[in-house]
Amino acid sequence: MATVHILYNPKSNNNTAGTAAEKLCSTYPDGDAEMTDVTAVRDLAAYFARYPADDTFILCGGDGTLNRFINDTVGSALPEKLLFCGVGTGNDFLRDIGAEPGKPTPIREYLDHLPTVTVNGKDSLFINGVGYGIDGYCCEVGDAQRVKSDKPINYAAIAVKGLLFHFKPRNASIVVDGVRSEYKKVWLAPTMNGRYYGGGMMAAPGQNRKKNDTVSLLIMFGAGKLKTLSVFPSIFKGEHVAHSEMVHILKGHDITVAFDRPTALQIDGETVLGVTEYHVRTATR
């Protein structure tokens, strides 16, 4: 009899993913499902090899869990019956593919041809986007707040305060497929594999992850803090692209973004501090 294996990240969604996994497990008949803490599995390739090919594997967590999974399985044969049950705080991957949080969704088709980002000499695949600018700043502040309190993080409030008081825009040197451009007062410079990141921000409305031979770079630049603050909320509906005087979208296969000052960066929600440059390239898994 085929078994359902629920691989969950206990730290997802403010340490509540274990409860969500237990609820999911209870929907299967006795003995047909088992739970495993995915963060405790050292070798996922060996783990998958232990089980029959017709078993089903459900990864339960958030976008960060999915990011860790794709990087931990580089070069490994993934099971065909691989599903994702999104129980994170952002769920941008599910939003982008039109799936519901909390509902197991087949994801095997989305894990091929993922782009690679190089930061501080380390290569990583990413599923949604690489944020650089005030989005990375928000993740940095959110991480610091999470250490001090278990209350939910209000990233919108962090962004507003950052725009008004704390985050200073950078100057950026950007190279897309060999063409260099210089930008002043850059607030955002994320490179996107999907349309969404940051818990519902439609940064790249025209990006299609199923036709991801190219990625999309959003640059929000040039304006003062009040103008930027007035336009910023429109990113949640993808309407920021109408402000062509301060928003550019560039598509390419090879993208490098360099800031003139170290800045926090996030990869699918995971923060990297003190980054001066990142390099993204499309690749075949």
Tens digit of pLDDT for each residue in 55-88? 999 999 999 999 999 999 998 888 989 999 988 7
Final residue in a domain of this structure, among 110, 130, 146: 110
Same domain, 101 and 163: no
Q: What is the pLDDT of residues 237-251, one digit of tens each?
A: 999 999 999 999 999
Segment among 39-53, 65-79, 102-116, 150-164 with least mean pLDDT:
150-164
Q: Where are the beta strands (DSSP E) in 189-253?
A: 191-192, 196-197, 201-202, 215-221, 247-252
Let me know whether 100 and 230 are in one domain. Answer: no
CA distance linking residue 241 with residue 238, whole number of Å: 7
Residues 172 and 224 in one domain: yes
Task: Give the mean pLDDT of 46-52.
Answer: 91
**What proportion of the chain, given as a percentage, has pLDDT over 70?**
98
pLDDT computed for residue 186 by the predictor: 97
Do 124 and 262 belong together in one domain?
yes
3-state percent breakdown (helix, strand, coil) of the chain, nearest 5 = 30, 35, 35
- Whether 47 and 135 map to the same domain: the answer is no
> In whole numbers, what is the pLDDT of the chain averaged over residues?
91
Please report, for the domain that includes residue 75, its CATH number: 3.40.50.10330
Residues 128 and 188 in one domain: yes
Same domain for 163 and 85:
no
Q: Has residue 204 got a pLDDT over 50?
A: yes
The domain boundary residue, chosen from 88, 110, 132: 110
Provide the residue type at 173 as one letter: S
DSSP secondary-structure letter at 85?
E
| Entry pTM | 0.92
117-142 tens-digit pLDDT: 999 999 999 999 999 999 999 888 88
Domain check: are 260 and 156 in the same one? Answer: yes
pLDDT at residue 242, as a whole number: 97
Do 84 and 134 lie in one domain? The reply is no
Structural domain range at position 177: 116-281
- Judge whether residue 192 has pLDDT over 50: yes
- Weakest-pLDDT range from 12-16, 41-45, 192-196, 276-280: 12-16
CATH of the domain at 224: 2.60.200.40
Position 99 pLDDT exceeds 50: yes
pLDDT bin (cut points 50, 70, 90) of residue 212 is low
Say yes or no: 152 and 67 in one domain: no
Exposure string of 8-35, with b = 16+ CB inside 10 Å and e = fewer, is bbbbbbeeebbebbeebbeeeeeeebeb
17 shares its domain with 130? no
Torsion of CA 214, 181, 126, 237, to 10 degrees: -80
Tell me how many domains the chain contains: 2
User: How many other CB atoms are there within 10 angstroms of residue 150's CB atom?
Assistant: 9
Q: What is the mean pLDDT of residues 91-111?
A: 93
Last residue of a domain, one of 69, 92, 110: 110
Shared-domain flag, residues 30 and 96 = yes
What band does 285 get if pLDDT is binned at 50, 70 and 90?
Answer: very low
Portion of the chain with pLDDT greater than 90, in percent: 62
